[in-house]
Amino acid sequence: MSGSRIAENLASVRERIARAAARVGRDPRSVRLVVVTKGVGADLIREVVEAGADCLGENRVQEARQKLAVLGDLPVKWHMVGHLQTNKVKYVIGMFEMIHSLDRLSLAEELDRRAGQRRTTVDVLVQANVSGEQTKFGVAPEETVEFIRQVSRFEHVKVKGLMTMAPFVPDPELARPCFRRLRELADEVRREAVGGVDMDWLSMGMTNDFEVAIEEGANLVRIGTAIFGERREPGGNH
């Protein structure tokens, strides 16, 4: 795909974000776009950054490490948006501004240990499986508040919000209940007022459903396919 087409696609996505926000009386600037670069080469990543992208999302630690080795000069923030294996935690501290996929206590424990060794903290979103799909990672909704309470005890792990993945359905309206449930779950967490926990971010919505997600409160949307086109990659596109 040409750089000019990528720039056009990025502009189109930003316009769609703005329209979706406006429909529910939100400031479009309150929605942060994470451009998902899974399966995208370094040249195209540079082009999308030149077109104005300032936050990039990666699904796999090894791929992110390879890209950062050649793209470390880019003025962007990197987010980990895919499932994170515990044995890869040693690589991610300091690499990502935020990890979207905290879904188990063993992962929180390892993040805390590794961040403590580096005398830093790591910002995370708790992944909630609001769709109930067995193929999806995430904490069950009814267990999320207690899970967050337990994570809050880790000194070097800071919960900043929630993330979910809705079912991939032909009509994005069918995903609306999942997005609404995540927003309600964030409200539940806020009411608990757990020390050291913020609900600043709701990461939900991808290429096929991000406008509905924004209408339901998303302020982080993870979009790749609408910008780069389909990629020959297993594991689902954003």
- Residue 141 inside a domain? The answer is yes
Residue 63 placed within a domain: yes
Q: How far apart are CA 237 and CA 222, in angstroms?
A: 10
For the range 130-134, what are the long-range contacts, defined as Cβ-Cβ under 8 Å and sequence gap of 24 or more? 130/164, 130/166, 130/178, 130/181, 130/182, 130/185, 131/164, 131/165, 131/166, 131/167, 131/178, 133/167
Instruction: Report if residue 222 sits inside a domain.
Output: no
pLDDT (tens digit per residue) in 143-171? 999 999 999 999 999 999 999 999 888 89
Residue 3 has a pLDDT of: 52
On the question of pLDDT at 234 being above 70, the answer is no
Q: Is residue 21 part of a domain?
A: no
Give 224's contacts (C-beta < 8 A, 6+ positions apart): 35, 36, 37, 38, 40, 57, 206, 207, 231, 237, 238
Residue 183 has pLDDT above 80, yes or no: yes
Residue-range definition of the domain harbouring residue 178: 58-217
**2: pLDDT strictly greater than 90:** no
Task: Say if residues 111 and 96 touch (Cβ distance below 8 Å).
Answer: no
Give the per-residue pLDDT at 169: 86
**Half-sphere exposure for 220 (CA within 13 Å, toward CB):** 28
Examine residue 123 and state whether it is found in any structural domain, yes or no. Answer: yes
Inside any domain, residue 38:
no
Q: What is the reported pTM?
A: 0.94
CATH number of the domain within which 135 lies: 3.20.20.10
pLDDT single digits (tens) 58-70: 999 999 999 999 9
For 126-147, how does the pLDDT look when each residue is reduced to its tens digit (9 = 90+)?
999 988 777 788 999 999 999 9
Specify the number of domains making up the chain.
1
Chain mean pLDDT for the chain: 93
Q: Is 206 a domain residue? A: yes
Which phi and psi (to 5°) does residue 127 adopt?
Answer: -85, 120
Share of residues in the chain with pLDDT > 70 (%) = 95
Angle between helices 141-151 and 176-192 in degrees, nearest 10: 40
